[in-house]
Amino acid sequence: MGQIIDGKAVSAKVKEEIRLETEKLKEQGIEIGLAVVIVGDDPASQVYVRNKEKACETVGFNSFKYALPAETTEEELLDLVKKLNDDDRVDGILVQLPLPKHLDDKVIINNIRPDKDVDAFHPVNVGKIMIGDYSFLPCTPAGVMELIKSTGTDIAGKECVVIGRSNIVGKPQAMLLLHNNGTVTICHSKTKNLKEVCSRADILVAAVGRPKMITADYIKEGAVVIDVGMDRDENGKLCGDVDFEDCKDKASFITPVPGGVGPMTIAMLMRNTLTAGKAHHGIE
Ligand SMILES: Nc1nc2c(c(=O)[nH]1)N[C@@H](CN(C=O)c1ccc(C(=O)N[C@@H](CCC(=O)O)C(=O)O)cc1)CN2
């Protein structure tokens, strides 16, 4: 059986490192602040936002929550973003996605100050990721990199296959693997012979959004399998894009869902917020 990568344990370690650094900054009179904005009453988003506030508490950041009604207009949301851009207590700004349908997330994200964009969704930060000159890494792909690192796998020269080409996960994930000298293939809905391409992968990252789509015949013996999916199975139970039971004996390392990539997303958000806070205080 492959080893299960414990995302909760890795994320707890990352948060503890951040807590210790935050404590030292506090001794110098420096406080770190994260503003979390949620619009509407999507139940999953409310859970994630609560978990982000809890994580802030764990690492010692100040958190400022702004819960706006679903009918909030673009102008009202932009006004809040502007206020937070100018607020010195706020080092990082996060607008929880998805937004209600009448709000265009691109317009909102483009108005967050890039040096406070701790999600790394702003085009300036996306561009920096392309050229490998980044301060913030997008949280989910960064979490995946941390989990791969935790297995002791050297990415250099490895065949890496990313299934999914979203701006938030697939594309930045491929870039991060490339910056680590992986040989990277991005697959998507039009990819021919998907199974064959995936089964060449030493490192397989699944971000498709289709429950349990990746079965053992997609993976190479001994592959590192990272599941970014957050789906529901036929019984409504949370599962990933990878059929964990089918793949676990063939992989060398595999992430579960829940308890794999998910918890890392919030730990990486804390890391980006610390990076932003240090930059705002002129600390390397
Ligand atoms: N502004 C953003 N919006 C969204 C992001 C994001 O990174 N920035 N990502 C997702 C939601 N998300 C964080 O916001 C997130 C999703 C899942 C988890 C997580 O820990 N999942 C658990 C399972 C949780 C459950 O039981 O439902 C796990 O995988 O173990 C954390 C964060 C979309 N929006």
pLDDT tens-digit profile of 32-55?
999 999 999 999 999 999 999 999
pLDDT of residue 107: 98
Does pTM surpass 0.90?
Answer: yes
Q: Would you say residue 86 lies in a domain?
A: yes
Pair 48, 87 in one domain: yes
Residue 165, marked binder: yes
- Provide, rounded to the nearest whole percent, the portion of the chain with pLDDT above 90: 98
pLDDT of residue 284: 79
Pair 108, 222 in one domain: no
Q: Would you say residue 14 lies in a domain?
A: no
1 has pLDDT over 80: no
State the CB neighbour count (10 A cutoff) for residue 277.
25
Backbone conformation region of residue 44, classed left if phi is above 0, alpha if psi is from -120 to 50, else beta = alpha
User: Of residues 15, 52, 171, 212, which has the active-site annotation?
Assistant: 52
Give residue 95's Cα distance to chain centre: 14
Rounded mean pLDDT of 76-82? 98
Pair 84, 176 in one domain: no
Mutate which of 48, 54, 272 for ligand 1? The one with the most ligand atoms within 8 Å of its CB, which is 48
Q: Would you say residue 83 lies in a domain?
A: yes
97 has pLDDT over 80: yes
Does the C-beta of 209 come closer than 6 Å to ligand 1? no
In ligand 1, which atom is closest to the CA atom of 139? 7
In ligand 1, which atom is closest to the CA atom of 7? 30
Taking only the tens place, the pLDDT of each residue in 122-167 is: 999 999 999 998 888 999 999 999 999 999 999 999 999 999 999 9
d(CA 215, CA 176): 25
How many residues are given for the chain?
Answer: 284
Pair 163, 104 in one domain: no
Q: Would you say residue 40 lies in a domain?
A: yes
User: Of residues 96, 171, 173, 243, which has the active-site annotation?
Assistant: 96
Which CATH number do you get for residue 200?
Answer: 3.40.50.720
Residue 166, marked binder: yes
251 has pLDDT over 90: yes
Structural domain total, the chain: 2
Pair 146, 252 in one domain: yes
- Provide, rounded to the nearest whole percent, the portion of the chain with pLDDT above 70: 100
Q: Would you say residue 241 lies in a domain?
A: yes
Q: Would you say residue 280 lies in a domain?
A: no
Which CATH number do you get for residue 72?
Answer: 3.40.50.10860
Catalytic residue flag (residue 119): yes
Does the C-beta of 119 come closer than 6 Å to ligand 1? yes
DSSP secondary structure letters along the chain: -PEEP-HHHHHHHHHHHHHHHHHHHHHTT---EEEEEEES--HHHHHHHHHHHHHHHHHT-EEEEEEE-TT--HHHHHHHHHHHHT-TT-SEEEE-SSPPTTS-HHHHHHTS-GGGBTT--SHHHHHHHHHT--S---HHHHHHHHHHHHTT---TT-EEEEE---TTTHHHHHHHHHHTT-EEEEE-TT-TTHHHHHTT-SEEEE----TT-B-GGGS-TT-EEEE---EE-TTS-EE-SB-HHHHTTT-SEE--SSSSHHHHHHHHHHHHHHHHHHHHTT--
In sequence order, the 6+-apart residues with CB closer than 8 A to the CB of 272 are: 92, 118, 119, 120, 136, 137, 139, 142
pLDDT of residue 134: 87
d(CA 226, CA 214): 11
pLDDT of residue 173: 98
Q: Would you say residue 228 lies in a domain?
A: yes
Pair 148, 258 in one domain: yes
pLDDT of residue 135: 86
Catalytic residue flag (residue 101): no
Question: What is the domain range of residue 63?
Answer: 30-113
Does the C-beta of 100 come closer than 6 Å to ligand 1? no
Pair 163, 96 in one domain: no
Does the C-beta of 244 come closer than 6 Å to ligand 1? no
Residue 240, marked binder: no
Q: Would you say residue 249 lies in a domain?
A: yes
Taking only the tens place, the pLDDT of each residue in 234-244 is: 999 999 999 99
Rounded mean pLDDT of 209-216? 97
What is the residue with the minimal CA distance to atom 24 of ligand 1? 258
Q: What is the mean pLDDT of the chain?
A: 97
Catalytic residue flag (residue 52): yes
pLDDT of residue 183: 98
Pair 204, 250 in one domain: yes
Pair 258, 205 in one domain: yes
Does the C-beta of 255 come closer than 6 Å to ligand 1? no
Tell me the two tokens of residue 243.
């059929």
Pair 97, 155 in one domain: no
Q: How confident is the model at residue 2 (pLDDT cuts 50, 70, 90)?
A: confident
**Is-cis flag, bond preceding 69, omega within 30?**
no
Does the C-beta of 97 come closer than 6 Å to ligand 1? yes
